[in-house]
Amino acid sequence: MQEGHETGYLMKRLFAAIDVGSYELCMKIFELGGKNGLKEIDCVRHRIDIGNDTFHTGKISGDKMDELCEILKGFRRCMETYRAHDYLAFGTSALRETANIGAVLDQIERRTGISVSVLSNSEQRFLEYKGAALKSSFDKYIQHGTAFLDIGGGSSQITLFDLGHLVTTVNVHIGTLRIRTKLFDMEPVYTDYETIISEMVDNELDYFRELYLRDLKVENVIIIDDYMSAIMESYGKRPEGHLSAREYKSIMKALSVKAPYQIAAKLNIPEDNAALLLPSAILVDEILNMTGAKDLYLPGVSLSDGIAYDYADRKKYIRPLHDFNDDILSSASNIAAKYGSFDIITSKLTDASIIIYDAMKKHHGMGSRERMLLHIASILRNVGKYVSLSFPAETSYSIIKDSEIMGISHKERIMIASVVKNSYPNNLDNDAFDNNEYEIQDRITVIKLTAILRVATGLAKNVHKTMSNITASVKDKELVIKVMARDSMLLEKGLFSERTDTFEEVFGIKPKLIVLKNKI
């Protein structure tokens, strides 16, 4: 990519963001570069209910597969018309729950020329959250207690923010298409819809209410949903998707007595959309009742916006105002806190790991993403001790593998779990993944991060030790680590050599610990 010499901005380029959703396919064309950085110029949508197949049978029928491929071929022609050579296409819950997903993705690419990847739930929600952060009001809202509600077809994500930081995030197994599918099986009359949906939602949210809402006062609810925008367009009076809870409840009262066809007529939307809007609307109403929030904000963005935002960020077309890496680390820290392992040793271990990683930058050949994975591994290394002091490596691996970390893919989660497991003494497993599932480069990354974490753990052994001013530098085939301490750190020195063999083998550099006595 080239920069414009006069403006200093990256040259303009067109990019397509494709969302293969449970109930709809959406493609947005964006202009990247120039003064705006990121600008939507077109949006194409096609309704296709692949979620109904996968949620019922675990497979996509042949007819739906043909329809899906025809729509994607149309997207391809549209991209060619715009000359949008760069694109990303992602599938969400409907594809995630497809049993034969490998064959499905291969067939899609062969028949359409479009390569579709499947997002894990945490990746999907993180991208949608990034899309919302495009709006100017986002950072203002999350300075105070805010519930970020991302409503999907198969499930919904509730993320709590306060003081500008992520507090916790939870996935609940309620989504518009899943609720509609259950209603179809039950065949209720429309007057019973609100009662039945409210009970479904309330049952799922009981756990969330008891566990996460005791200590946080929620003032605002931010909503990401494909269908709620119709309410804002018909009833919203304030700019940028703002609506008070009182106004919303008044709207809900009016809509709850109407059949889907009447709601469709009132909001000027297709009847199929009205059938999906009602579960979303009731879920929002339940969240308002539960939290006592006074204001709603619907930024009107979708997964496609988040895909484009993330791409533009990685390619340096835009300069984000919000620190998303901080949210990823907060998500990991919340898991550590739940298992009682976010303490001073964790803090020491994290500092030491990152300092060593940065000192070795020219020698390990890894980048900022791998640095993030190491940071998370450092935070979560001791979570298994909460369950078992006898087998902390194995229990830590299981906990991390099965815990959702916002913005981290399933593959990356397995990598982090493997790094943690292998960082324990006598536990190095060269076959870091089961069934040769991942590429050799991933295995090498795991071994490199493991080597670094092993050395760092040698510096953070005792909660009572006062250790500060850690520095690290590479000199003459040695990684010289200097620390300030009040004692001579005899235990750490004695055990240090046990943790350096892997490091020396992987990098060809021998770690050396120097303790400088702190007289204060």
Query: Which residue matches tokens 């994607």?
Result: 72
- Count other Cβ atoms within 10 Å, centred on residue 94: 26
Q: What is the dihedral of CA 251, 253, 258, 259, to 10 degrees?
A: 90
Task: Tell me the pLDDT band of 6, cut-offs 50, 70 and 90.
Answer: very low
* Distance separating alpha carbons of residues 61 and 177, to the nearest angstrom: 17
Alpha helices in 315-343 (DSSP H): 324-338
Q: Both 114 and 189 in a single domain?
A: no
Where among 119, 152, 167 does a domain terminate? Answer: 119
Which residue type, as a one-letter code, is found at position 48?
Answer: I
Q: Please state the rounded mean pLDDT for residues 244-266.
A: 82
User: What is the model's pLDDT at position 237?
Assistant: 53
* Average pLDDT for 272-289: 82
Mean pLDDT across the stretch 417-440?
68
Is the pLDDT at 244 greater than 60, yes or no? yes
Q: Determine contact, residues 209/147, Cβ cutoff 8 Å.
A: no
Within a domain: residue 47? yes
Residue 8 lies in a domain: no
pLDDT for residue 432 is more than 50? no
Question: Looking at the structure, do residues 485 and 348 belong to the same domain, yes or no?
Answer: yes
Res. 338 pLDDT band, cuts 50 70 90: confident
* Residue with the larger pLDDT of the pair 486 and 509: 509
CA distance 260 to 280: 13
The answer to whether residue 308 sits within a structural domain is no
Residue 262 lies in a domain: yes
Query: pLDDT tens for residues 342-366?
Result: 677 788 899 999 999 999 999 999 9
Q: Considering only 144-148, 297-301, 424-428, 453-457, which range has the smallest mean pLDDT?
A: 424-428
pLDDT at 3 over 50: no
In this prediction, residue 467 has a pLDDT band, given cuts at 50, 70 and 90, of low
Q: How far apart are CA 331 and CA 420, in angstroms?
A: 17
Residues 347 and 467 in one domain: yes
Banded pLDDT at 4 (limits 50, 70, 90): very low
In a domain, 1, yes or no: no
Say if residue 30 is in the same domain as residue 57: yes
The pLDDT of residue 465 = 57
56 and 183 assigned to the same domain: no
Is residue 129 situated within a structural domain? no
Query: What is the rounded CA–CA span in Å between residue 319 and residue 333?
Result: 26
Q: What CATH number does the domain containing 276 carry?
A: 3.30.420.150
Q: Is 317 within the bounds of a domain?
A: no
Please give the residue that has the higher pLDDT: either 435 or 228: 228
Q: Residue 110: give its domain's CATH number.
A: 3.30.420.40
Among 285, 300, 315, residue at a domain's last position: 300
**Highest averaged pLDDT of the listed ranges 75-89, 289-303, 458-472:** 75-89
Could you tell me which residues come within 8 angstroms of residue 435 by beta carbon, excluding any fewer than 6 positions away?
none
Q: What is the 3-state secondary structure (H, E, C) of 495-518?
A: HHHHHCHHHHHHHCCEEEEEEEEC
Helix (H, G, I), strand (E, B) or coil at 60: coil
- The answer to whether the beta carbons of residues 142 and 216 sit under 8 Å apart is no
* pLDDT tens track for 77-133: 999 999 998 999 999 888 988 888 999 999 999 999 999 999 988 888 889 888 887
Residues 379 and 276 in one domain: no
pLDDT score of 300:
81
Instruction: Report pLDDT for 414.
Output: 92
Count of the separate structural domains present in the chain:
3
Identify the pLDDT of residue 361: 94
**Domain membership flag for residue 398:** yes
Same domain, 161 and 270: yes
Containing structural domain, residue 201 = 135-300
Question: What is the overall mean pLDDT for the chain?
Answer: 83
pLDDT value, residue 520: 52
Residue ending a domain, choose from 300, 334, 356: 300
Reply yes or no on whether the pLDDT at 153 is more than 80: no
Long-range contacts for 27-32 (Cβ within 8 Å, ≥24 apart)?
Answer: 27/75, 27/78, 27/79, 27/304, 28/302, 28/304, 28/305, 28/308, 29/78, 29/79, 29/82, 29/84, 30/308, 30/312, 32/308, 32/311, 32/312, 32/315, 32/317
* pLDDT category of residue 240 using cuts at 50, 70 and 90: low
Six-digit token string for 213: 């809402």
Residues 113 and 144 in one domain: no
Q: Is the pLDDT of residue 428 over 70?
A: no
Query: DSSP label at 119?
Result: P
Query: Are 114 and 140 in a shared domain?
Result: no
Cα 401 → chain centroid: 15
| Residue 144 and residue 261 share a domain | yes
Which one has a higher pLDDT value, 48 or 203?
Answer: 48
Token look-up 């992520």 returns 166
* 219-239 average pLDDT score: 75
Whether pLDDT at 459 is above 50: yes
Instruction: Flag the least confident range among 47-56, 332-341, 389-398, 458-467.
Output: 458-467
Q: How far apart are CA 421 and CA 212, in angstroms?
A: 29
How would residue 33 be classed by pLDDT, with cut points 50, 70 and 90? Answer: confident
5 pLDDT higher than 70: no
Q: Quick one: 342 and 402 in the same domain?
A: yes
Are residue 265 and residue 333 in the same domain, yes or no? no
